[in-house]
Amino acid sequence: MSVKTFRYAGVSEQNGQYKVRYANDKGRAQHLVKVGHTNVEIFDLKDAMPKEDCVDLLLSKTFKNTKAMETVIAEAREIGFKV
């Protein structure tokens, strides 16, 4: 069984709701803005990595909005982190 990996990860807000976003295309951030997302913060991870590693890296980032970090923490808990 192969593990899906991603080169980009971050958060975006749409209709007042933040979500963690994963992508393999650097244009993903532009697409999110185009379809109405705000507060888009997508990071280039340099190497492809599974969701767990993406979230681990996002936990070390500083976001412009505390709601974004709360969303990353919630995502971490959802995939099994003890945060």
Res. 83: pLDDT tops 90: no
> What local confidence, expressed as pLDDT, does residue 24 receive?
96
pLDDT above 80: residue 75: yes
pLDDT at 2: 78
Annotated domain spans of the chain:
5-78
In 25-77, beta strands by DSSP E = 38-50
pLDDT one-digit tens code per residue, 26-59: 899 999 999 999 999 999 999 999 999 999 999 9
What proportion of the chain, given as a percentage, has pLDDT over 70?
A: 99
Residue 63 vs residues 1, 3, 4, 5: alpha-carbon distances, Å: 34, 27, 25, 23
